[in-house]
Structure 1
């Protein structure tokens, strides 16, 4: 997929314009714009984006105020065009985009609250997913997404024998439970390991590697997830017996999250084709 003419949305979550995350975001804007992409940036802190999902996200009356169900109520509001302007604006950007880059510092093994709030409020039921349209059959199956983030810990601490645990396991809820769930083709994450602890020259090299990757980002193969047809929808979406039996003789499990007690496949959430 050539970059020229493609639309890119960068969802950026950092408070400081002098941060490494800001530099990574700026590099993406510069490289992708130079390659002919139309790039939009949602700078969540600058936008003062509301992080909490509440009934205030709906204009007008809700269906059941006493037993408020955010997912169901926002689905109805999306269908009726009654979501608040900040949500609809982000949904419009997302609908147009071919590639979405999430740029953020990893907080507590996850996302900053303001970015999690963007996900909670923008990826509404009906718009981003449904019971019928999720995972490999997801609504955004024609879009690519990538997590680009900094860590506070060194790479060795996020290894299979490191004190923080395997980064592949840490990434499973984000890449499978959010991005793949909505159908995105998930590209391998861009991880900047502990840039705050590195000398300036090393950080410059990290950014240059990111610039180089950006040149061919849309041509990369996505990460591999277990196909939906491996599961029996009539039996709680559990692996079909024949799939489970065949997999039982393998050295590694299917994925980090679906491993059947076998060894977790190495780098399953960090490299394509694993």
Structure 2
């Protein structure tokens, strides 16, 4: 497979750096082709703004989605955005690796998503009618590709349990899994999580290598999270609410997983 690893940590000698190096080598040893987008090393520009287009139409105020569409459709995107889109087209699988900072991904990685996921590339595609509401949530430009998160956090596993103080980790990652990855079509695999990072010693790191190695070895066969496709009948269109007979009595994020 062709695997793109998008990496977001500022310190190469960190635990995240060691995990990245291990993952790249494990994948290459298994015969996969690997590209790495090391966002801090690339000095990735996180903010979405008018500079993302090489030529904007007239003197109109900056409009994020309309400017994005114009640049994408007319080959006017900044070169860094176009390069990352080419990597996504090339990839059969994408790994996003990052530390959980303030209950989400680092700003630089969020900025990668905001800029690379252009209108017409990752959103704003497909028919909008009373029968379909775009090619999204299981469909879209990235359908047929796989994605997985590799996430580290300083908190204990119990802190992210169903009754833990930080909230369930599945709920915390839902906006990334369901919104950033499933929305444009990825088959989203269960994440690989490393808790209590300040307590990782040599023995623990050996266990991480073994566990993560098994996940990487089965990157092409692991069953994805069974999110409900938007246009397959479970949702009223265009309201985009679940039909009454689908997961009755279940509310919130859990209702959108079969």
TM-score by length of structure 1 reads: 0.86
How far apart, in 1, do the equivalents of 2:234 and 2:58 lie? 37
SS at match of 2:138: helix
- For residue 257 of structure 1, the aligned residue among 247, 253, 257 is 253
Q: Deviations over 1:98-133 (max 9, x none)?
A: 000001111101010100000000011101122521
Deviates more, 1:132-141 or 1:80-89: 132-141
Task: Give yes or no for the alignment of 1:11 onto 2:15.
Answer: no
Q: Within 5 A, what are the aligned runs for 1:96-135?
A: 96-130=90-124, 132-135=134-137
- Tell me if structure 2 keeps the 8 A contact 1:59–1:82: yes
Q: Which residue of 1 aligns with 2:234?
A: 230
- Tell me if structure 2 keeps the 8 A contact 1:140–1:184: yes
Structure 1 portions without partners, runs of 5+? 1-5, 260-264, 269-273
Superposed CA RMSD in Å reads 1.8
Task: Give yes or no for the alignment of 1:137 onto 2:139.
Answer: yes
4+ residue runs of structure 1 moved beyond 3 angstroms? none
SS at match of 2:174: helix
Q: Within 5 A, what are the aligned runs for 1:9-48?
A: 9-48=4-43
Q: Within 5 A, what are the aligned runs for 1:62-101?
A: 62=57, 65-66=60-61, 68-101=62-95
SS at match of 1:257: helix
How far apart, in 1, do the equivalents of 2:124 and 2:44 lie? 25
SS at match of 1:218: coil
Q: Which residue of 1 aligns with 2:199?
A: 197
TM-score by length of structure 2 reads: 0.91
